[in-house]
Amino acid sequence: MKVDGRTLFGVVGVPALPATKRAGAISDRIEAIAADRTFDPDNLEIAEVPLGTSIRARGANVVTITAQDAAATGLPREAIAPVIAERIKSAVRSYRQERTAQSLGRSAGWAAAWTAVLVLLSFSVSRLARRIDFVAERAFDSRAKHLQIQGLPLVNVERAHQMFIGVLRGARLLTYVVIALAYLLIVLELFPWTRAASRMVLPLVFQPLATVGRGFVAELPNLVFLAVLWVLVRALLRVVKTFFNAVEAGTIRLSGFEREWAAPTFRIVRLVFVAFAVVIAYPHIPGSESGVFKGISIFAGVVFSLGSSSIIANVIAGYTMTYRRAFRVGDRVGISEVIGDVLEVKLLVTRVRSIKNEEVVIPNSTILSGNVVNFSALAGKQGLIVHVTVGIGYETPWRQVEAMLLEAAARTSGIEREPSPFIVYQQLGDFCVNYEINGYTRDASAMVATRTALQRNILDVFNEYGVQIMTPAYEGDPEQAKIVPRDQWYAAPARRPAAAQEGSGERPPGAAPASRTAT
């Protein structure tokens, strides 16, 4: 039972009235007689009643000491009744004294003084924190030049500085909390109306901490098991990573295992190890048996399964492409309508730089479900075939056409001499014969440029020999062949290159073409 936050004595509940409600009713009666300054607390009376020993004020019961109350103290009612009466008298006098104008004024003065101390301490802590921050920043700047080897930093000074600032801010916040708690304890204790609240400040703060501490001690064996498991799994993963790094570097060679497979294989092994460790650790995770933990786990699993189907498909596709060796970084490939060089192959997407210098991001699942043309796979060993199709009228001898096409291929620097270029007859059309010149090139990344150069040389050679290349639509033979005269080859704004005058390989009209023919 309390008055103004001070405990006077204890009471025991009865079947009809719990102890808390009984104590509250007694407190209200004591405060009522204390507020009545016409009543002298020395006039309290002690009388025996059927329920026990009663302490009365002006004939009205203040508290009745029952046999249960006496049993809780281990003393008879006659012995404890005078003690409780004296405590009530003292509480009434203190209640009245603390509510006098002089006492309240003195408490208000002390509250103002402690408020000033609070402001001064907060200002001092803020100044000290800024000073420490300034000194630390200068120290980090000066040390950064020395923590280097050949210009390379040994540690990330900026990150270390940010970590220090975070620790400083945490310490400053903790200091503010301690100062505020001390201020509340002292100031609330000064006034009778807030004294009960001051007695609740520390329990509100430290009771949760105590609960956490007791829970930590209770779960300590599980936490030690989890820590040991984490150390073991981490050490084992380091050994596995070292092994696969050696495989990737070529230090360790495995029969039938490509070096490019080392990194993705390590990621798969790591996932298996982590999943196995989670299965072992799950029963030892604090709170894993609670309904809330299980509910959150089920919810997270449902969300992951609904939202990650495309991600999982792309990941599987990424691993599949890695082991299929469809292409490598740097290869010239054709994927759907995109032709370009592979920049990066990740688990989810593949980045390709197109021949127009565009960066195209392609999901791996799209690549796996479609056709992939790798122009670089065989170009270095067997050569990549570059081809151009032209339509020539039936009036032109096919042997001349073959010779001119082979001559154009011979003039193209990107076309290999061995294997030699060859001619393929695509179709004997209604109005012309479709010839296809095929030449080998070793550089897949330059295939567009090589094909463009081949087409230029075809135009030049056919113009030199006065042979017209047919158009797709044919109505009749023109009066004059559709060719460009040699003297108009470099009409403005085109400029004649130096190679065209000397060493260009161009032949004058009427010169004999190359004698190579298709086999």
Is the confidence at residue 417, as pLDDT, over 80?
A: yes
Mean pLDDT comparison of 6-20, 231-245, 333-347, highest-scoring range: 231-245
pTM: 0.44
Is the confidence at residue 516, as pLDDT, over 80?
A: no
Q: Residue 505: which pLDDT band, with cuts at 50, 70 and 90?
A: very low
* pLDDT for res 436: 95
Q: How far apart are CA 267 and CA 225, in angstroms?
A: 25
> Which range, of 135-149, 159-173, 232-246, averages the lowest pLDDT?
135-149
Angle between helix 447-464 and helix 398-411 axes, rounded to 10 deg: 130
Contact at 8 Å (CB) between 366 and 336? yes
> Which range, of 147-151, 158-162, 259-263, 447-451, averages the lowest pLDDT?
147-151
Strand pairing partners for 374? 333
Single-letter amino acid code for the residue at 361: V
Q: Residue 23: which pLDDT band, with cuts at 50, 70 and 90?
A: confident
Q: How far apart are CA 240 and CA 256, in angstroms?
A: 19
Is the confidence at residue 502, as pLDDT, over 80?
A: no
194 or 502, which is more confident: 194
Q: How far apart are CA 473 and CA 470, in angstroms?
A: 8
How confident is the model over 363-387, as a mean pLDDT?
Answer: 83
* pLDDT for res 472: 57
Is the confidence at residue 500, as pLDDT, over 50?
A: yes
* pLDDT for res 381: 81
Name the strand (E) or helix (H) holding 438: strand 432-441
Contact at 8 Å (CB) between 46 and 37? no
For the chain, the first-to-last Cα distance in angstroms comes to 116
* pLDDT for res 404: 92
Q: Residue 519: which pLDDT band, with cuts at 50, 70 and 90?
A: very low
* pLDDT for res 438: 95
Q: Residue 311: which pLDDT band, with cuts at 50, 70 and 90?
A: low
Is the confidence at residue 149, as pLDDT, over 70?
A: no
DSSP H stretches of helix in 145-194: 157-190
Is the confidence at residue 423, as pLDDT, over 80?
A: yes
How confident is the model over 317-336, as a mean pLDDT?
Answer: 75
* pLDDT for res 154: 46
* pLDDT for res 411: 93
* pLDDT for res 228: 92
Single-letter amino acid code for the residue at 285: I
The pLDDT tens digits for 444-490 are 888 899 999 999 999 999 999 888 887 655 666 677 777 777 777 77
- In percent, the amount of the chain with pLDDT more than 90 equals 15
* pLDDT for res 368: 75
Q: How far apart are CA 296 and CA 266, in angstroms?
A: 30
Is the confidence at residue 517, as pLDDT, over 60?
A: no
How confident is the model over 416-434, as a mean pLDDT?
Answer: 90
DSSP 8-state symbol, 105: H
* pLDDT for res 390: 93
* pLDDT for res 504: 44
Q: Give Cβ neighbours of residue 381 (< 8 Å, ≥ 6 apart).
A: none
The pLDDT tens digits for 88-99 are 888 888 888 888
Instruction: Report the candidate in 402, 436, 400 with the shortest Cα–Cα distance to residue 518.
Output: 402
The pLDDT tens digits for 259-302 are 777 777 888 888 888 888 888 888 888 777 777 667 777 766 66
Mean pLDDT comparison of 41-55, 57-71, 133-147, 233-247, highest-scoring range: 233-247
Angle between helix 309-324 and helix 262-281 axes, rounded to 10 deg: 140
Q: Residue 317: which pLDDT band, with cuts at 50, 70 and 90?
A: low
How confident is the model over 7-11, as a mean pLDDT?
Answer: 79
304 or 133, which is more confident: 133
Q: How far apart are CA 417 and CA 227, in angstroms?
A: 67
* pLDDT for res 455: 94
Q: Name the average pLDDT for the chain.
A: 80
How confident is the model over 232-248, as a mean pLDDT?
Answer: 89
> Which range, of 11-25, 171-185, 456-470, averages the lowest pLDDT?
11-25
Q: How far apart are CA 349 and CA 352, in angstroms?
A: 10
> Which range, of 16-25, 202-211, 299-308, 351-360, averages the lowest pLDDT?
299-308
* pLDDT for res 365: 77
> Which range, of 132-141, 180-189, 373-382, averages the lowest pLDDT?
132-141
* pLDDT for res 513: 44
Is the confidence at residue 512, as pLDDT, over 50?
A: no
Instruction: Report the candidate in 39, 35, 26 with the shortest Cα–Cα distance to residue 87.
Output: 26
Q: How far apart are CA 64 and CA 16, in angstroms?
A: 15
